[in-house]
Each structure stands twice: as C-alpha cells, then as structure tokens.
Amino acid sequence: MSQDQTADYEIRDLERKAADLQKQGLLTDVRDALEDIDTKLSQMPGQLAEARTKGYVFKSYLEEQISALQDQWAQIRGNVERESDRRVRELRDDLTRAEQAVRRLAPLKGRSLSSAKSSLSRVESELDSLERQVEAATAAVRAMYDTLQSELWQVEREVTTCLELLELMDQASFGFRPGEAGISAVKAKWLKDGHKEGPKGILFLTDQRLAFEQREKVAKKKVLFITTSSEEVQELQWEAPLGALTESKATEQRKAIVVKKEHLTLEFKPPATVREVIMELSDDSETWRTLINRVLSGEIDRERVEGTAEAAVEASSSIQIPTNCPNCNAKLDVTVTRGMTAIKCTFCGTSIPLTG
C-alpha cells in the first residue's frame, strides 16, 4: 500500500499542527512583542539624542511622544503580562488533551486512509477548535497594547528617518551652510529626456533650499547594449533657494493598474539657475509638496527644538550683503530671498557669494 493510500500524511500534518499550537498556546509571540517594546523604548531616547547632537532640529514633539509612551507602558506592561499568564493557564488543559489525541493516532499509521478517516476528522475538529481558542486568547492580550505598539512604530520610523537624513547629508558631495538645517530627503530621478529618463539620486529639502544630488552607477562602456564598465557618479545637479520657488505640483503617473509613479514639478524664478524640474520620487509626491509649503509658510519652524530658532535667525542675520559689486563697483540692488548663497551683479554678471 503506497503512502498516498495510507493515513500517514494526514497524521503527520495533524502532528505538526498540534506542535505549532503548543508553542502558540504559550503566547510566545506576545512575550516577544513585550520584549521588543521594552527594547525600543529604552533605545529610542538615545537615538533621538544622537540625531539632535548631529544637528536635526525639527520634530520637537518626538521627545514628548517618547516620554508619553514610556509612561503608558509602565502602567500597562504588568497588566499585559498577568493577562498573558492567565490565558496560558486557561489553555493548558485543552492543549494537553489535544496533544494526547494526536498521539493516539500513531497506531493508525500504515492503515488505509478510508479506515482512519473518522478518527482523523475528530482530531482535526478538536485542533481547529483549539486553534480558535488560541487565536482568541492572543488577540485579547494584543488588544491591550496594540495602540501603543502602533504609535511606537510610528515614532521609531520618524527617529530612523531623522538619522538617515543626517547620514545622507554627511555623505553629500556638496556642503551645507552654517545654520542651514536639513528637513527631509528622498530618492528621486530628475526627468530630463522627454520627461522619461534622467539622473537618479537624492532630493534634499532644508530650511533654506532644495538640492538634487546625483548618486548612481553609470555605464562607461557598452558592447551590444551590455554594460562592460561603469563608475559611481555623485555630484550636485541643481540647487535652488526656497525663496525662488514659485509653484509646486504633485501628480501621479500610472502604467497599468498597479504601477504608480509619483511626480513633483517645481518651478523657480531667478536667482535660481533652473526654471522647472520634474522629479520622480520614491515617496508620496503630495506629502512632499505639503512639506515644502510648510517650510515656505514658516509653519515648520513651530517644530524646531527650543533654542535652535534663535540660532537660525542669528545665522541668517549675520549674512553680509555687499552694497557694491567687487568687480565693477556698480551699486547692487538685489533682493535676497530665503536660501540664497550668492547674488549676481546685473551689470557685469559677477557672482558674489554671500558670507556669514
């Protein structure tokens, strides 16, 4: 009699299910989640402090959110653990009976599936019932900390994003001015070739400007359309002061039903060296458009860490604006907009850096 005609496969399947339920009935996933929350809440203040030390000055609400989560966890953790222990005790007898029922199937191995079918069905039904009990117990305990865990994950993502931004800024091929504070960065493509292709890299947003830095591996040599040699390219492609931004538009371009491309169109006026750029973002373009508008309106400054707003104003006010062109001595009559690093003489065309 072949294995397919015996009850062996079905019995092994029930044995595996019973073993899984024994583990799940101890609520090990819940206990792992409690330890994970403990770890995150203990590490996150240090991670945020690192971001502050390195210069991230926005999202001042994060400290308060972390402190609030720590207070909430201190109040509910013990209750969660006690409830978890109680549920495990309630399940213990049923788990034992299910394990014994599965063991009683051992003598049926080698017998025909048809002769063992009724016994297999009874045990399967018992395990299904037990599985529902275990799932209900797990869900009841998880409900006690689900909201806190979700909020913790959100705060963790924000802190991680801050650290990732600072790392990208440290790796940039161009410099940032004293007092210039990074706000966000996103992987992007500058659509140049008929709005289809262009360099790939990182779009930076600071409290003074937008800047796109190319960061990608570019083919140097191809044979029959196959790349045989390539090089890493990292260089600033364009930058523009925020004060020169006149319009931003967020759109979605779809290919087929599931492929969605996020486009952000930015239009600038002088002194920006670019007039219009279309960026394909790896993130939601409307979110980015909203963030840029919050920076332009000054709303983002409400999220500055205490004391850093004064430092930013001091750094901005220390910028020296010359009254005459150092090249032709013509009188300069130029409006300095937010984020400008240089002004241009309208008579001789000399670019004059603004120094602090």
Whether the pLDDT of residue 71 is over 50: the answer is: yes
Region of poorest pLDDT, from 185-199, 210-224, 318-332: 318-332
For residues 307-312, average pLDDT: 57
Comparing C-alpha atoms, which of 155, 214, 180 is closest to residue 341?
A: 180
**179 is a domain residue:** yes
Least confident of 186-190, 203-207, 269-273, 311-315: 311-315
Only one residue has tokens 């860490």, namely 305
**pLDDT mean over 327-348:** 58
The answer, yes or no, to whether residue 316 has pLDDT greater than 80, is no
Residue 51 pLDDT > 50:
yes
Percent of the chain with pLDDT over 90: 71
Specify the pLDDT at position 120. 94
Q: Are residues 346 and 225 in the same domain?
A: no
* Whether 72 and 151 share a structural domain: yes
Residue 41 inside a domain? The answer is yes
Q: Are strands 226-241 and 209-223 parallel, antiparallel or unpaired?
A: antiparallel
Per DSSP, which regions of the chain are E strands? Answer: 182-190, 200-206, 209-223, 226-241, 245-255, 259-268, 276-281, 342-344, 351-353
Region 205-221: mean pLDDT is 90
User: pLDDT tens-digit profile of 74-132?
Assistant: 999 999 999 999 999 999 999 999 999 999 999 999 899 989 899 999 999 999 999 99
pLDDT > 70 in the chain, percent: 81
Do residues 155 and 59 touch, judged by C-beta distance below 8 A? Answer: no
Average pLDDT of the residues in 268-277: 92
- Confidence label for 322 from pLDDT (cuts 50, 70 and 90): confident
Query: Looking at residue 4, what is its pLDDT?
Result: 55
Is the same domain home to 142 and 27?
A: yes
User: How large is the average pLDDT for residues 197-225?
Assistant: 87
Judge if 176 and 114 occupy the same domain: no
Quick check: 149 and 33 in contact, CB under 8 A?
A: yes
Instruction: Give the Cα separation of 59 and 155 in Å (integer).
Output: 10
Residue 185 counted as domain residue: yes
| pTM (2 d.p.) | 0.78
77 belongs to a structural domain: yes
Is the residue at 35 inside a domain? yes
Report the pLDDT averaged over residues 208-225: 82
Give the model's pLDDT for residue 351: 60
Please determine, for residue 224, whether its predicted confidence score (pLDDT) is greater than 90.
no
| Least trusted range by pLDDT, from 118-122, 130-134, 301-305, 322-326 | 322-326
- 267/330 same-domain check: no
Could you tell me if residue 166 is inside a domain? no
The model's pLDDT over 161-174, given as tens digits with 9 standing for 90+, comes to 999 999 999 999 99
98 and 190 share one domain: no
Q: What is the average per-residue pLDDT within 245-261?
A: 82
Is pLDDT at 354 greater than 60 in this prediction? yes
Same domain, 240 and 274: yes
- The tally of domains found in the chain comes to 3
Neighbouring C-beta atoms of residue 309, cutoff 10 Å: 14
Place 229 in a pLDDT band, splitting at 50, 70 and 90. Answer: low
Shared-domain flag, residues 13 and 148: yes
- What pLDDT does residue 339 have? 47
My answer on whether 270 and 148 are in the same domain is: no
- Average pLDDT for residues 316-334, to the nearest whole number? 60
- Do 28 and 96 belong together in one domain? yes
The reply to whether 103 and 241 lie within a common domain is: no
Of 43-57, 191-205, 211-225, 336-350, the least confident: 336-350
Domain that holds residue 283: 172-313
- CATH number of the domain enclosing 239: 2.30.29.30
* CA–CA separation, 204 and 340 (whole Å): 15
- Tell me whether residue 165 is in a domain: no
Domain membership flag for residue 298: yes
Residue 326 sits in the same domain as residue 300: no
